[in-house]
Amino acid sequence: WIPWLAWQIQRNSKSVYVATFHANLVDTVGGKVLSSKIMTPIGRSFIEKMHMFTATGPTASAGLISLANMKLPFDKFMVDHLHYLPCGVDLQQYQPVKKRQPINGPGTKTIVYVGRIEKRKGTDLLLSAFKELSKQMPEVHLTIGGAGVMLNRLKAYVDFEEIKNVHFLDYVSDDEKRWLIGNADLACFPSPYGEGFGIVLLEAMAMGTPLVAGNNLGYQNVMQGYG
């Protein structure tokens, strides 16, 4: 939803237009503001030129549906013809490793998080929980891969609280991410809110790694059943 660019392209193109929704527009203030703007007169004039609507799942489309006026023909058409296209992963790239390697040495267990380091991702909650866990299981390590606005603050928190066995890798490549998740004893993605789907959950599942995830609306659509 980069409005000015999209509107310029639309005015000068005769292509078929597909609108896709993949962000969570339900449980965050920013999402609610964005979804409400879609249904303003300016936003409506743009979206009414779409030929098809897709979303990664019910969470990503919920904000749009909640604002639709089903008495209006176009709104009814939009909701009735919404197609769900969940994210997928390349199973040639994401598959169980032949033998898990202890990431932090023999006799250790490692919890892995890979993603952005920001409030929405819940890495501060993960560190608080690990602080308590490490008191009971001193052999457990926590590896955090990723960069973001909270990174320096979380590093300072670990130093201040003297939490042992926490490793920050900052940015990791796709190859490094697969190695970490594939060899982790547990993958943990604790986002409390703001997730529209959760492709990283599928990546961990595809690699056969035990998984714990935050109870947000987007992750609930992925974390179903028992492995």
Q: What pLDDT is recorded for position 41? A: 66
Q: What pLDDT is recorded for position 209? A: 96
Q: What pLDDT is recorded for position 189? A: 97
Contacts of 192 (CB under 8 A, 6+ apart): 120, 122, 125, 214, 215, 216
pTM: 0.83
Burial 138-154 (b: 16+ CB within 10 A, else e): eebbbbbbbebebbeeb
What's the whole-number average pLDDT of the chain?
Answer: 88
- Rounded Cα distance between 198 and 102, Å, is 26
Write the pLDDT tens digit of every residue in 63-78. Answer: 778 888 889 888 898 8
Write the pLDDT tens digit of every residue in 103-140. Answer: 999 999 999 999 999 999 999 999 999 999 999 999 99
The radius of gyration of the chain from alpha carbons, rounded to an integer in Å, stands at 21
**Is residue 114 within 8 Å of 84, Cβ to Cβ?**
no
Report the percentage of the chain scoring pLDDT > 70: 89
Write the pLDDT tens digit of every residue in 181-211. Answer: 999 999 999 999 888 889 999 999 999 999 9
